[in-house]
Amino acid sequence: MVNYVERYAEHAESTEGVVYPDLVVVGAGLFGLTVAQQAVERAGVRVRIIDVRDHIGGNAYSYMDEETGAEIHRYGAHLFHTSNRRVWEYVNRFTEFTGYVHRVYATHDGEVYPLPINLGTINQFFRAHYTPAEARALIEEQAGELAGTDPANLNDKGIQLIGRPLYEAFIKNYTGKQWQTDPAELPASIIRRLPVRFNYDNRYFRDTWEGLPRDGYTAWFERMIDDPRITVSLKTDFFDESQPYSRRALREAGVPVVYTGPVDRYFDYELGDLKWRTVDFKEVRYDEGDHFGCPVMNFSDADVPYTRAIEFKNFNPERREQQNPERTVVWEEYSRFAERGDEPYYPINTEADKALYARYEALAATEPRTVFGGRLGTYQYYDMHQVIDAALTAFDERILPLIAK
C-alpha cells in the first residue's frame, strides 16, 4: 500500500494527548475521498479518514486476481459514466480511462439477446425484420388496454412501456428475483425510465463519457489522497469508543466530521431501521479463457436463481496479454433483503422508508458540525459520478464553511 495508510495495532484507550486534525471523514468511499482531497487542496487543512473496512474506495474497491489476471470488483460491477463535465474533468486529474463501452446481454429460454431492449432484441425475439415504425406500433398494440396509461405498479408499467411479451420475457422474472417481490406489488417508479430503443444501439449507457480506470479503481483512489496532510486509519470503527476518532470523542473535541455511514446507525437506530437490499456473490472458476464472451450476462428466467453473472476479465480486453488464457472467474449475483450487518446496496424507498428518512434527516440537522453524505448517509442510490458531484457540491456549500481558517 502507499504511504497514507496508518493501521492501528492497538486503539488508544483515551483521547488524552491526541492532536486532532481539522476534519475527520468517516468512510473512505468516493464521497469521503473527494471531500478529503478538496479539503487539503482548497483549504490547506489536515484530514483524517477512518473506515471500518480494510481498504479504501468503498463499494468501488477492486483488486487483482492472481490466477486469472482479472481485476475483481469486490462489491459488484462498477462502471464509470457521466455527462457531467465538472465530474469528468475532476476524475481525469487522477486516472486515465479506457475506451470501454458497456453492453449487456440476457439469456432467456436458452437464447442470448442484447439489452437494453432495442430493435435488434425485438426482431430477434419475434423472428422478424420490423422497421422502427413497425416496432413502435407492435409494442403499442401489445400494451393492450394499458397503452397510454400511467400505471402505479411495476408490472403494469412494464407492460405499458414495452408490451406484455417482451416484459414477461426480460423484465418480470428478473425483477421478481431482484426484489423478491411480485412486480405487481412494486412501485412503477423502479422502472419508470425502462429504456427501449427503436434502433440497433445496444450501448447500455447514453452518457457523454464512459470507461474504466486504466490502472484500476484502487490506483485511482490512492492518487486522490496522495498528500501528506491526509492520513487514513483502516479497520477503525467510528462507534468504537476505545479509539480516539469515535463519535463521542469527536463530538467532545468539537472536530468537524463528514459522515458517510448509515444515517440510522449514527443515531443508534432510535427511530427504527431504514430498509435496504443487499447482494450476495457466488464465485465460479472455469478452465477456459472466456466463459460468456461478455462482461455481464443477465438471466431473465425464474428457473435460474441468480439475476446476473459478471466475468471480470471481459471488462479489460486491453489487458489480455497479462491475463491467464486458460482460466477465468465469474461471480453469480443473488439479491435479497438486507439485515443488520449485511452490506446495504439499494435503498428500498417505500413511502414508509421515505417518511422515516425524513425524520432522520431532521435529526441530522441538529448536528451542526457533522455533514452527512454518500449513499448511506442520505439514503439514496447513487452512481459513482453522482456521488462525486454530490461531494463537490457539499464541500462548496457545507464543508468549506466548517473548516475555512
Q: What are the catalytic residues?
A: 193, 197, 277, 308, 333, 381, 383
Q: What is the Cα 86 distance to its own chain's centre?
A: 20
CB 6 within 8 A of CB 233: yes
- Per-residue three-class SS string for 223-263: HHCCCCCEEEEECCCCCCCCCCCCHHHHHHHCCCEEECCCH
How many angstroms separate the CA atoms of 266 and 280, rounded?
25
Residues 6+ apart with CB under 8 A from 209: 81, 82, 83, 88, 97
Joined grid coordinates for residue 206: 447514453
Cα end-to-end distance, the chain, whole Å: 32
Give the E-state strand segments of 34-180 in sequence order. 47-50, 62-64, 71-73, 80-82, 104-108, 111-115
Query: Is 253:369 a contact under the CB 8 Å cutoff?
Result: no
229 grid coordinates: 496532510
Nearest CA to 38 out of 52, 51, 27, 25 is that of 25
